[in-house]
Amino acid sequence: MNTIATEKIEAAFETRQETKLVFSPAAPTKLEELDIPRSLVEDLMLRYLYTKGSSSIRDLSQALKLSFPLLHELFQQLRQKQLFEITGMEGSDYVFTLSGIGREAAEKRFIVGHYSGPAPVSMKSYNDAVRAQVVELKVNRQLLKETLSELVLTNKFLDQLGPALASQKAIFLYGPTGNGKTSVVNRLFRVYQDPVLLPYAVEVDGQIIVLYDPAVHEKIDTDITDLDRRWVVCRRPCIIVGGELEPNMLELQLEESTKVYAAPLQMKANNGMLVIDDFGRQILSPRYLLNRWIVPLDRRVDYLTLRYGLKFNIPFEMIVVFSTNLDPNDLADEAFLRRIQNKIYVEAVNAEVFDKIFHRIVYERNLPCEPGSVQVLRKLCLSLGAKELRACYPFDIVDIIVSIGAYEAQPIEINKESLKRAVKLYFTKPQAPPKE
């Protein structure tokens, strides 16, 4: 993305960030204000002390993301039960450790589970948050151009993609390989310019589901001070999976050693985007995935199951993007395709777009280029390639030329001869049939 476009998008984001959050729960300061069982907080306190040895109430507050007054109240009650022993003071704050009775109680809690991180929110609070933060995306051609400015795209394609995004419904990108589908989906999340709240974890029937994942969620620093710290301010999530997608990634996964559940992909992607790239090339069959999500896509509700059989529902509020090189009619039946209203064919590029891509690459890499090279490349690609121009050809072939120069320790120059050499390496030769 060029600098100007980046600045525009970031400035827009900062403007939206300064506005009041749509969902902004206040931190509970009393036990009766908690939306989770009090016993669960007691368990977290005991486990934390068991692993750390000692703590102050302030440190405990930071670890569990609960307010000092609430934990001070609970500390006093557990102290009366002789579960804690005071070992010192930090100003007006207690430093304490587990008593013998407290250690026995903590060991019993560890049999149930090892989680001692930020306190979870209730499933009701999570569902309310997701529904309150449903995307209200205002997208137009200019925003899309800035968002996807690293790519050379036609207005025709942008005017198909824009309404699809505005609809907030599933999108099916299909067409021949090498024309930018993956490049587009890798950048689509940039259209989101407002923050959302995600909980560190969610409680269901006394069980903990860890939701916040720093590998896929981008935390935002904010000056909001009165917010319930069990929630994290993040950019809207965009999760992209390809051939590595497996059936278990769509369900709750219980970590046997810790007895804590990991949230499935669609739960992590709520209030954002979930991209299934290279759809049809996963270990799981397309039919399995389509049957799994036919109800969520239609009703915007998904159903999950705990290990012991308890079922519950969560919102399915995200844009699901399927990207494939295969024929959609070979992957899904009419009933499923009907639920994906936006089907966008990403066609092979024409000569004008091909030339723009080539010249942009040459310019950005500051490579010497002989006049007429792009015409030479087009002819070579059409004669040796797929009989149609692909957006990936200029990128890939210029990469080969650069690699040849690095190998031979020679100055890099794009000309007729270097293009011919690179193209021979890039395209396969048709094999003669074996002699009988």
If you count them, how many residues does the chain have?
436
Residues 67-95, mean pLDDT to the nearest whole number = 93
The pLDDT score that the predictor gives to residue 79 is 94
**369 and 414 Cβ atoms separated by less than 8 Å:** yes
Give kind and range of the element (H or E) at residue 424: helix 416-426
pLDDT-derived band at 13, boundaries 50, 70, 90: very low
pLDDT-derived band at 73, boundaries 50, 70, 90: very high
Q: Please identify which residue in the block is written with the tokens 């009393």.
A: 30
In 3D, which of 281, 189, 303, 301 has the Cα closest to residue 240?
Answer: 189
* Residues in CB range of 4: below 8 A, 6 or more apart: none
**Tokens at residue 174, please?**
């299909």
- Residue 16 confidence (pLDDT) above 60: no
What CATH architecture is 37-116? Answer: Orthogonal Bundle (1.10)
Residues 95-113, mean pLDDT to the nearest whole number = 91
Q: Which residues pair with 199 in a beta bridge?
A: 231
pLDDT-derived band at 434, boundaries 50, 70, 90: low
Residue 107 one-letter amino acid:
E
- Residue 389 confidence (pLDDT) above 70: yes
- pTM to 2 decimals? 0.85
How far is it, in rounded angstroms, from Cα 240 to Cα 182? 10
The pLDDT score that the predictor gives to residue 282 is 87
Q: How many CB atoms lie under 10 A from the CB of residue 296? A: 22
The pLDDT score that the predictor gives to residue 72 is 94
Indicate the DSSP class of residue 227: B
How far is it, in rounded angstroms, from Cα 101 to Cα 171? 57
* Residues in CB range of 431: below 8 A, 6 or more apart: none
Residues 248-275, mean pLDDT to the nearest whole number = 94
Indicate the DSSP class of residue 252: -
Q: Hey, where are the domains in the chain?
A: 3-16+127-345, 37-116, 351-426
Helix, strand, coil percentages in the chain from 3-state DSSP, rounded to 5: 45, 20, 35
What CATH architecture is 351-426? Answer: Orthogonal Bundle (1.10)
- pLDDT tens for 120-155 read 999 999 999 999 999 888 888 888 988 898 899 999
What CATH number has the domain spanning 3-16+127-345? 3.40.50.300
- pLDDT tens for 167-187 read 889 999 999 888 989 899 888
Coil vs helix vs strand at 313:
strand
Residues 40-53, mean pLDDT to the nearest whole number = 94
**Tokens at residue 7, please?**
């600045």
